[in-house]
Copies of this chain bind each other. A is one copy, B any other.
Amino acid sequence: MIKYSRQRECILNNLQNRRDHPTADMVYKSVRLEQPNISLGTVYRNLSFLAENGQILKISTGIGPDRFDGFTNLHNHFICKSCGNVMDLDYIPSETIIEKASNDFDGEIEECEMQFFGKCRKCLLNN
């Protein structure tokens, strides 16, 4: 049974009101402005909880700590290999990817995520 928690609500609100893709620690620092007593452990616990419930996305980029995204509409991510920042990419292939990929695979595919890597505009200019 799931009980309401002010901390969880703040974390979800925080993620839904920003367009970057913060780390757990960034969420922690930001939420602490409203909830000064919240602990980092609680942030981690709720981020896991919300991600498992599909209310947020967890993004593992391979560059630094995991990132989180409060927007769960269908989209993909670009990851800058230079600065590690994550940006939204609204392009979605027109093919029915999961369906086609399932033909090749002996198990149950539920989700597909595309990650694009390269250099963001800012890092291109700073070279």
Q: Which residues of A approach B to under 8 Å, CB–CB?
A: 58-62, 66, 76, 78, 80-81, 87, 89-91, 93-95, 97-98, 100-101, 103-121, 123-124
Contact = CB atoms under 8 A, between A and B. Distances in A.
Contact of A109 (B59, B108, B109, B117): B117
Given A89-B105, A95-B95, A105-B116, 5 more contacts: A59-B62, A93-B100, A110-B118, A111-B117, A112-B117
B117 A110 contact: yes
Contacts of A119: 107-108, 110
Contact of A60 (B61, B107, B110): B61
A113 B123 CA distance: 21
